[in-house]
Structure 1
Amino acid sequence: MQQQIHVPREKKYLNLKFEFSAACSGEFKSKGGTMQSELTAKAERIGFVLREYGAEMLQAMVILVVGLVVLQFTMRKLKVFIDKKTKDSSRANTILYIVYILLLVVIITSALITLGFDSRNVFRLIILSALAIIAALLVLRPYLPTLPFKVGNTVKVGALLGKIEATTMVNTRMKTFDGKTVFIPNSKILNDFVINYHFTPTRRIKIDIPIRHVRDILKTKQLMEAIMIEDPRVLLKPARPVVYTLNLTDGCVKMGARCWVNNTKFWLTQCDLLEKFLTRMERENIVLAGRRQAIRVFHETPLQLSGGDDNPGIETQAGPGAEAPSFSAVSDDDEM
């Protein structure tokens, strides 16, 4: 007859807990051992690669870093040299791109050969890639959007007026005449209107001057034409200097002088001609038309404004239905 042994519930719980803990500990130890072995294998492989190819990898890295530094320095010096030899920015940029690609190919080839790659395969791959890039630049460049100016041109882009200092693939650097440096995105330039003042070698000067008396028309015309002809900067082609009678109003006669000069001399010539016009007209007693205003006074009853014997006064007429005086100013400028 078998004898049953009674085990308390608390002791059973402790035995189960001990068995579960032992199982988890064994599983963790087995996983930890596996991970440790994998890390050890990776470290051994890395150590083997460094022992076998460490020197070559270090030499290739040195060649690549030093080559890129020398490449940047060489390209800066070459850009300065090319800018002195040619004013065509598009041609200069094409030459710089080609030289940059060729030198970069040489640097990458040297680094790969140092690492132990087959030199024949490296040369074939890199030369084919370089030729493909150069051919794409030469063939596709005429069909790509180009900027309508060159470095050194004076242009107006939208509301900005200045001189182009440099252009890149992303933006254009402009120096305005008040000393500001503006970076304009090329996308804005291509989508906005552009006035290039160096597109043609000459430019027309336009100066309008209003005079007071009609009897001075012929005298003023001869005087302005003589001043323009005497100036050596004024050109006879594409048209001779001429003066037009542009407009006639109650207050003035507007005279317009037109002449052609070289683009580089436009601003100074225009300022000098205007100064000569004003100085000579003052000397010849030609009266310029100034701003003139007429005042009309309306009142419901006639008024007599007496100013004494020297000033007999001004009689005003009443406006219909007006309760108080009102004033309106009429200017000759508004009529013109």
Structure 2
Amino acid sequence: MAGESVGLETSIVDSLSSVEKWVSNNSDLLVQYGVNIISALLILFIGNIFVKVIAGSVAKVLRKKGMDKAVVEFIHGIVRYTLFVIVLIAALSRVGVQTASVVAVIGAAGLAIGLALQGSLSNFAAGVLIVGFRPFKSGDYVEIGGVAGSVDAIQIFQTILTTVDNKMVVVPNSSVIGSPITNYSRHATRRIDHVIGVSYGADLKKTKEVIQKALEADERILKDPAITIGVVALADSSVNFVVRPWVRTEDYWAVYFDSLQAVKEALDAEGIEIPFPQMDVHLNKAES
């Protein structure tokens, strides 16, 4: 046992001696690699700070120029990720990795990732088209592929909407481009469409005048274009009037609800009936 202990101690001493000798012989190399690694970490740390500052400054300048918030966020994301890749290549170059090799590897990896993630690339390309053609801007109320909401942001791969009941909806940019887009906020004015049914016994001329007067009492309803009121259908249970006032886009829903109430109250005050659905049944007595 004593011999084995002495042999183990001798082996440890020899190993430590070999390590010490290797460190002594390669001290310059170790110092160089240590400096390079520390430099690379500093490049990553400081570079990341500069990336955030530069990307933030670009976004700030674009906002001052009055550019749409959604477009600003899209450009901000592209600038930030592009600059970070440059910083990463500079840090790898500092530790001895050939820049040309890194670019080649990134290119090959990008090709492989692109083939694997074709959907994501199509979303990115669609995002560029959205920013370029601008079918909507931040804050617009839109309907895209059956989803309606206000535009919060156009990101690199998706568009963020907020619905009227305050739910966040993420729509892939490719779906935005690939489906009809209805922008309710693009124009300054909108038309409200109501269909009001009255009984067949009602005086149609008087009914039209009552509806016209009820709508003209609301100052939010525009004088130009003029209000359209006319008989649109002779339905099973009622004579249907189409009622189409124009309002400012921001007043649409408020006037929509208020105008329905105003017309109903005006018709009631004049004794003009809005009938329930009804059916006439005729009984024929069979002769015995």
TM over 0.5: yes
Gaps spanning 5+ residues in structure 2: where? 1-14, 100-124
Paired residues for 1:149-160 under 5 Å: 149-160=136-147
> So what's the TM-score if we normalise by structure 1?
0.59
Q: 1:46 to 1:163 in 2, by over 3 A?
A: farther
| Separation (CA, whole Å) in 1 of partners of 2:254 and 2:142 | 17
Does the 8 Å contact 1:87/1:151 carry over to 2? Answer: no
| Separation (CA, whole Å) in 1 of partners of 2:30 and 2:212 | 88
Secondary structure at 2:222's aligned position in 1?
coil
Quick check: 1:227 aligned with 2:210? Answer: no
Answer 1 or 2: higher relative contact order, Cα 8 Å, separation at least 6.
2
Give, in angstroms, the shift of residue 47 of structure 1. 6.0
Q: 1:48 to 1:208 in 2, by over 3 A?
A: same
Pick the aligned partner of 1:261 from 241, 247, 259. 247
| Separation (CA, whole Å) in 2 of partners of 1:181 and 1:191 | 21
Q: 1:282 to 1:188 in 2, by over 3 A?
A: same
| Separation (CA, whole Å) in 1 of partners of 2:155 and 2:215 | 42
Question: What residue is the counterpart of 2:31 in the other structure?
Answer: 51
Secondary structure at 1:293's aligned position in 2?
coil
Question: What residue is the counterpart of 1:286 in the other structure?
Answer: 272
Does the 8 Å contact 2:191/2:246 carry over to 1? Answer: yes
Question: What residue is the counterpart of 1:218 in the other structure?
Answer: 205
- The C-alpha deviation readout for 1:302-334, integer Å capped at 9, x for no partner, is xxxxxxxxxxxxx6449xxxxxxxxxxxxxxxx
Secondary structure at 1:58's aligned position in 2?
helix
Question: What residue is the counterpart of 1:145 in the other structure?
Answer: 129
| Separation (CA, whole Å) in 2 of partners of 1:94 and 1:156 | 20
Give, in angstroms, the shift of residue 195 of structure 1. 0.4
| Separation (CA, whole Å) in 1 of partners of 2:146 and 2:81 | 38
Question: What residue is the counterpart of 1:310 in the other structure?
Answer: none
User: Which amino acid is 1:60 matched to?
Assistant: A
Give, in angstroms, the shift of residue 236 of structure 1. 2.6
Question: What residue is the counterpart of 1:165 in the other structure?
Answer: 152
User: Which amino acid is 2:152 matched to?
Assistant: E
From the two aligned structures, give the one with the greater strand fraction: 1
- The C-alpha deviation readout for 1:46-74, integer Å capped at 9, x for no partner, is 86532224124203312312431563476
Q: 1:96 to 1:249 in 2, by over 3 A?
A: closer
Does the 8 Å contact 1:86/1:92 carry over to 2? Answer: no
Quick check: 1:247 aligned with 2:227? Answer: no
Paired residues for 1:1-336 under 5 Å: 48-69=28-49, 71-72=51-52, 75=55, 79=59, 82-83=62-63, 86-89=66-69, 92-93=72-73, 96=76, 100=80, 104=84, 145-146=129-130, 148-237=135-224, 239-249=225-235, 251-295=237-281, 316-317=285-286
- The C-alpha deviation readout for 1:219-273, integer Å capped at 9, x for no partner, is 1111111222222211233x21121111124531111111111111111111110
Does the 8 Å contact 1:162/1:175 carry over to 2? Answer: yes
Does the 8 Å contact 2:191/2:245 carry over to 1? Answer: yes
Backbone CA RMSD of aligned residues = 4.0
- The C-alpha deviation readout for 1:23-82, integer Å capped at 9, x for no partner, is xxxxxxxxxxxxx9xxx9xx7798653222412420331231243156347646864785
Secondary structure at 2:221's aligned position in 1?
coil
User: Which amino acid is 1:268 matched to?
Assistant: A
User: Which amino acid is 1:247 matched to?
Assistant: A
| Separation (CA, whole Å) in 1 of partners of 2:161 and 2:75 | 23
Structure with the greater alpha carbon radius of gyration: 1
Give, in angstroms, the shift of residue 97 of structure 1. 5.9
User: Which amino acid is 1:257 matched to?
Assistant: V
- Equivalent residues, number: 241
Gaps spanning 5+ residues in structure 1: where? 1-35, 122-140, 298-314, 319-336
- The C-alpha deviation readout for 1:191-234, integer Å capped at 9, x for no partner, is 11110112222111111110003442111111111222222211
Give, in angstroms, the shift of residue 172 of structure 1. 0.8
Identity percentage of aligned residues:
25
